[in-house]
Amino acid sequence: MQCHHYDAGRCHSCTLLEIDYPTQVLDKERHVAALLAPVSTGSSTDPSTDLSTGLSTDFSTGSELTWLPPVSSAESAFRNKAKMVVSGTVAEPVLGILDRAGHGVDLTDCGLYPDALHASFAPLAAFVTRANLEPYQVSGVGKRAQQRGELKYLLVTLSPDGELMVRFVLRSQESIARIRKHLASLQAELPALAVASANIQPAHAAVLEGDLEIPLTERTTLPMRIDDITLDLRPQSFFQTNTAVATELYRQASAWVSEVGPSSLWDLYCGVGGFALHCAAPGRAVTGIEISAEAVAAASGTAEKLRDGAGAARFRDVTFAAGDATAFAIGPDAPELPEMVIVNPPRRGIGADLAQWLETSGIEHVLYSSCNATTLAKDLAAMPSLRPVRARLLDMFPQTSHYEVLVLLERV
């Protein structure tokens, strides 16, 4: 992918842009394979097979971790979400990022965004002016630092069906009335806008959003259609930024769970229910646990609608609850053990306590979806009885060193 912002030194977020895309994918495969080799075999042998073949790779005698062919992405226009820092002035807002000097860099033509997101930026910039939303800025340093302005970010999410969710991240509620007053004009200029909200983040800190979310439209969820399941995404809910690769992730998880065929399944760190709902089946009790109450509300709403449809039997025993995944599993009120567990933790991994519980639980199969292979390897080292038997890299984040990896663990 060619990028004039990268060439000019204005933005280097795409750290691998100078490496051709097939090589990026191959390098990521080799990286994760090297990390998983010790925990899959008890050795420190690096992989010697070209994993791009998708063939089974035998790391040591008597133990085999099968790598499926990687899931590649489109090289550009793959992101379904734009996080735009708002800088400049009310009359001339700049949507993009801040450079090292704190000056705004216009990234409304970034190659990672599809046309539908590109088309939203001009109406949103015009709305900033119309609603008199002063971009947030800080002058001075330390105790003398002074904060001005209200609008910190514009967060724009695109659904597979072309609808948009727009979130205004604000310093306070001072501008809410003006946003409401002019919102109809934005909807007229941006007919794809389905959901709008304001998030209040008063702190001057490297925190994207605050706890308070104020709905601005009658609709409060954005439908994210993945194959035959439409997930309801709420403003503060997490969803993968690459819809096409996320679809393949859920398909692979569903296929491996179907092969195991558990009668009961836990989905820990379930988010809006992507894994739980795609892995549901008639006669299978599925429980999703997620710390975000917003995400759980969205997942529960999706399940309720699916139970009212033609596939009611498939989703009859799917439930979601808000809570800490580790506390749910190892707490004094923990329910009966399931036959299989899915974990999809944040970058920090599942941690020592949950890993130790899984190691001693006797559960035969665990499906681990990771966005950080380093913490994945650390967690797997703490679960030596659960051996990786299948793995697949999914390149959710082209042009960067990040990726997703799905690993099926089997008790030995």
Known catalytic residues are 371
C-alpha closest to that of 178 among 152, 198, 201: 198
DSSP letter for each residue of 123-180: HHHHHHHHTT-PBPEEES-GGG-EEE-SEEEEEEEE-TTS-EEEEEEESSSTTHHHHH
CA distances from 333 to 73, 269, 337 (A): 42, 18, 12
CA 180 to chain centre: 29
Residue 51 CB contacts under 8 Å (≥ 6 apart), including other chains: 26, 29, 30, 33, 57, 67, 70, 393
Burial 384-396 (b: 16+ CB within 10 A, else e): eebbbbbbbbbbb
Q: Exposed (0-12), middle (13-18) or buried (19+): which is 210, by Cβ within 10 Å? A: middle
Count of helices and strands (H, E) across the chain: 11, 20
Pairing mode of beta strands 151-158, 164-170: antiparallel
Alpha carbon distance 98, 129 (integer Å): 20
CA distances from 202 to 133, 173, 205, 246, 308 (A): 15, 9, 9, 33, 41
DSSP three-state, residue 301: helix
Q: Exposed (0-12), middle (13-18) or buried (19+): which is 35, by Cβ within 10 Å? A: buried
Alpha carbon distance 171, 120 (integer Å): 23
Q: Are 54 and 69 in contact (CB under 8 A)?
A: yes
